[in-house]
Chain A
């Protein structure tokens, strides 16, 4: 994001200490996400060393940060199948699915349980309108994916 007149702000993060950010890069989740309905403001943190991971850091709660993978990194053939209500809530065009990368950012939350391979939630990716930075966790309709897809994904799931 290009820095303009507003001076950078600083927030504490769960994993990376204090981080400077630009108010214009804040993503707004008006309804929060399930189980964290009160968390409305997030930053997407990326670091070369952690590519392709993207960290969703809550601005209100320094201790809350989700590790995510771009849905297309987790699953190269991933396709969105968003419900009309979700398209509407994000101000996206009705009647067609948004293009990942052009219209929306699409991130799958990673989960790590002990002694088990990491899983990604491809049933309900985080979808952010790239033009407004308004986001929500959009439960997909008729989805072939589960909320706990084991990495690496079986090839059939991604084709």
Chain B
């Protein structure tokens, strides 16, 4: 991984068309501005993780099997009252 040090207001260029600007550096997060061609999708990494998880979740085959598992969890020694 390439590591660069930048200050607020400074930028990084990726190729000819993509610019990443450090807009503001806060205590626990930074604000970044991204300029890229429309053809380049830009999203938070979490969106991809969540998308993959949604795809996996949509494959569920049987409600009965799920309910059985949950019932066992709830009735088990570590289960909650809810």
Q: Which A residues lie at the B interface, using CB under 8 A?
A: 15, 33-36, 49-50, 52-53, 55, 64-67, 72-73, 76, 109-113, 117-118, 121, 123-124, 137, 139, 142, 147-148, 151-152
* A-B pair number, CB within 8 angstroms: 88
Q: Let me know if B28 and A142 touch, CB within 8 A.
A: yes
Interface check B57, CB cutoff 8 A: yes
29 contacts between A and B (CB under 8 A): A34-B47, A35-B50, A35-B55, A36-B54, A36-B58, A52-B82, A53-B63, A55-B63, A66-B60, A73-B82, A109-B54, A109-B57, A111-B57, A111-B60, A112-B65, A117-B69, A117-B73, A118-B73, A121-B50, A121-B53, A123-B49, A137-B50, A139-B46, A139-B47, A142-B28, A151-B73, A152-B76, A152-B78, A152-B79
B26 in the interface, Cβ–Cβ < 8 Å?
no
How many chain B residues have a CB neighbour from A under 8 Å?
A: 28
Interface status of B70 (Cβ within 8 A of chain A): yes
B44 interface hit (Cβ, 8 Å): yes
Partner of A110, one of B52, B57, B79, B82: B57
Bound-state CA distance A73–B33 (Å) is 38
Set of chain A residues within 8 Å of B80, measured between Cβ atoms: 76, 152
Q: Which residues of B contact A124 (CB under 8 A)?
A: 46, 50, 53
Cβ-defined contact, A112 with B69, below 8 A:
yes
A7 to B48, CA, bound (A): 39
Interface of B is mostly: helix
Give every chain B residue within 8 A of A66 (Cβ-Cβ): 54, 57-58, 60
- Identify A147's interface contact among B53, B65, B73, B82, CB under 8 A: B53
Within 8 Å of chain A (Cβ to Cβ): is B51?
Answer: yes
Q: How far is the CA of A64 from the CA of B63 in the complex (A)?
A: 13
Distance in angstroms between the alpha carbons of A137 and B67 in the assembled complex: 24
Complex formed: what's the CA distance from A65 to B60 in Å? 9
